[in-house]
Structure 1
């Protein structure tokens, strides 16, 4: 019964928030910049992150004060970025770095075993370990923001991880609070549904907070697990992380600023490719279709990885396959869209 009550309350709250933001013309997506109009020219509320943050606090209020404080701070930073399109990406990165480094250091979050000898020797130094963990979280947070340009692309990706984390926790007996976790997945499904039908966007706040939460969860899970390959965790998060690194290299080659948004990300090229085809799908749904295609691929790859989560060679093979498929697909779509 409580499941239904929680679901109805969350849907009602989301509808109310959508209505208020539109009525007050506040926290809406459309600024007229080309990287936004490429995907949508409608005014859509950027409130996904706010809903996710509130849901997390309601369900996981027993987490450490430092974690919750960092979570709020990252959400606020994302909201400020959503409100102010001129907010400096460099300043945003500096603030993210300070928040995450302080959190990692004072929470004593470390990665104890990477199965790479020279890296493990390097990480035996606590300060280097803190720096490495912070760097990984920063890559994930900003990489997730990079892939947030299609409906369901980000929220669907982390929902997929959520489902596998549930089974992973049972299999490894990692002590997950299943009651809270169940309602957490319900809250993500509500946001997913509204995002699917283009009634809300995650915004920077949504992509930041999801990446931070899942980065923390997966490091914690890996440190508890005795048999799981570290490359399985890397594969779970490969897409946003590789997107970040690939985009930096690409923009350097194209002599563009890594901080300046453009329309040459893989998900945007997929959308552009679909726009150029005569499909029976209405154009306003192509955004969601493109995001769903990417999520179907990621679900398949993560499913394969889960079948042999302890096998590092298998995980590395899948990561390599992902990089090859990503690169070849990118080259094909980039050339097709530029014709």
Structure 2
């Protein structure tokens, strides 16, 4: 506990404040550039917002992380590799935001980033003791890591459909990661996670309208994919190797809502014979809105549930609850969620029209 207390000193606050200021300044500069180059989101049949909204949340986070790299290059393991992978994802995301790229090229480039990540030694080599015995993956770990990266990147991309939702869910996961890294005495990665948290704050404030509608911004695919990639990078650091701070199954609880939402939506699309990546109105926030909740109410409900899931994971981890029990409960929770949300979608298809969303 003494190490934990000493780890949280003035240095953390200085770093976080500097990154916040860097992201804030970058965000306003990027807004101006976005209008000039057409990097804006325009309202249409599916998108209800008013006016052209800059898609620059991810750009501001990336630029703030560049500042962090210059100042503290040793704070994150393989920081240089992380920045290289993030640069690729950011560029692809910006092009996608501007030109709306097809799915396959995007997935292909995300896979290339995953391969680069694995070449640097970041790999899921064990799933822990989820089946009453340690499950070491061997060469199969490369495949699992690939799907984990693709899953996290696209899960966070898919939840970015309502003001505040991506920011809220990301804050839940990042807050949980800061906590587990500090409790596990991996103070460097805890500080890095806290800085990433700080880099997201300016976007969240502008997206939520704290400075008025005039300054509203969206994250864009560049930002949502960057967040998803950063989350899986941190989760691998948290669950694998000699400095792991949590068991692999705990990671599922920290990203439960984005993961469950993505898998359930894709399963329903595939069951209908459709494209699993084709947008529809069946995400959790759509269902809650069509059920009669306001956007603010839906946001509070989803973020609260995500927070409770993360708390279950952390508390279970700290109390040494069996990994097999944690996995069984998570699986039962997901099956219950899938059944409930599928039933609600079917009922709403008959009683409530689809709604336009924020973006």
> Is the pair's TM-score, using the shorter chain for normalization, greater than 0.5?
yes
Mapped partners of 1:166, 1:4: distance in 2: 16
Contact 1:105/1:130 (<8 A) preserved: no
Q: Is the 8 A contact 1:59 1:184 kept in 2?
A: no
Matched, 1:75 2:90: yes
- Following superposition, the deviation at residue 110 of structure 1 comes to 3.3
Q: Distance in 2 between matches of 1:175 and 1:296?
A: 27
2:250 corresponds to: 232
Shift, 1:267, TM fit = 1.6
- The structure-2 alpha-carbon separation of the partners of 1:42 and 1:319, relative to structure 1 and needing over 3 Å to count, comes to farther
Offset, 1:75: 0.9
| Structure 1 residues 112 and 4: CA distance shift in structure 2, 3 A | closer
* CA displacement at 1:7 relative to structure 2: 4.1
Partner of 2:356: none
Q: 2:58, 2:219 within 8 Å by CA — same for their partners in 1?
A: yes
Shift of 1:76: 0.8
| Deviations 1:8-60 (CA, angstroms, capped at 9, x unpaired) | 554343233324424x262111262x3x32x5354211111111111222224
| Counterpart contact for 1:60–1:180, Cα < 8 Å | no
Give the Å deviation of 1:305.
Answer: 2.3
In the other structure, the counterpart of 1:296 is 304
Are 1:111 and 2:132 an aligned pair?
Answer: no
Corresponding residue for residue 306 of structure 1: 314
Q: 1:4 to 1:52 in 2, by over 3 A?
A: closer
- Aligned partners of 1:68, 1:271: CA distance in 2, in Å? 37
CA distance in 2, matches of 1:327, 1:299: 21
Q: Which residue of 1 aligns with 2:138?
A: 124
Segments of structure 2 that go 5 or more residues without pairing to the other structure are 1-12, 352-359
- 1:215 is displaced (CA, Å) by 0.3
How far apart in 1 are the matches of 2:227 and 2:18?
24
CA contact 2:177–2:193 (8 Å) conserved in 1:
no
Which runs of 5 or more residues in structure 1 are unaligned? 278-285
Q: Give the whole-Å Cα distance in 2 for the aligned partners of 1:58 and 1:81.
A: 25
1:292/1:326 CA distance change after superposition, 3 Å:
farther
Q: Which residue of 2 aligns with 1:59?
A: 68
What is the CA distance between 1:153 and its match in structure 2? 1.3
* Distance in 1, Cα, partners of 2:49 & 2:297: 14
Task: Work out the CA distance in 2 between the residues paired with 1:9 and 1:95.
Answer: 28
Paired with 1:13 and 1:227, the residues of 2 have a C-alpha distance of 33
Matched-pair contact (CA < 8 Å) for 1:301–1:318: no
Whole-Å Cα distance in 2 between the matches of residues 252 and 195 of structure 1? 32
Q: Matched residues in 2 for 1:259 and 1:182: separation?
A: 32
Choose from 216, 236, 254 the match for 1:219: 236
Question: Is the contact between residue 48 and residue 201 of structure 1 (CA under 8 Å) also seen in structure 2?
Answer: yes
Residues 266-310 of structure 1: per-residue CA shift (max 9 Å, x gap): 222222333xx6xxxxxxxx4454233211111122112211114
Aligned pair partner of 2:27 in 11, 14, 20: 14
The residue number in structure 2 matching 1:282 is none
Query: What's the RMSD between the two structures over aligned residues?
Result: 2.8
Alpha-carbon deviation of 1:239?
A: 2.2
- Alpha-carbon separation, structure 1, partners of 2:95 and 2:299: 26
Contact 2:158-2:262 within 8 A present in 1 as well: yes
Alignment of 1:65-214 (within 5 A): 65-85=80-100, 87-116=101-130, 123-125=137-139, 128-177=140-189, 179-197=191-209, 199-214=216-231
Return the offset for 1:330. 4.5
Whether the 8 Å CA contact 2:163–2:208 is kept in 1: the answer is yes
Instruction: Write the deviation string for residues 215-274 of structure 1: whole angstroms up to 9, x where unpaired.
Output: 011111112456733211111122222222222210122232223212222222222333
TM-score, normalised to structure 2's length?
Answer: 0.79
Aligned-residue offset at 1:84: 0.9
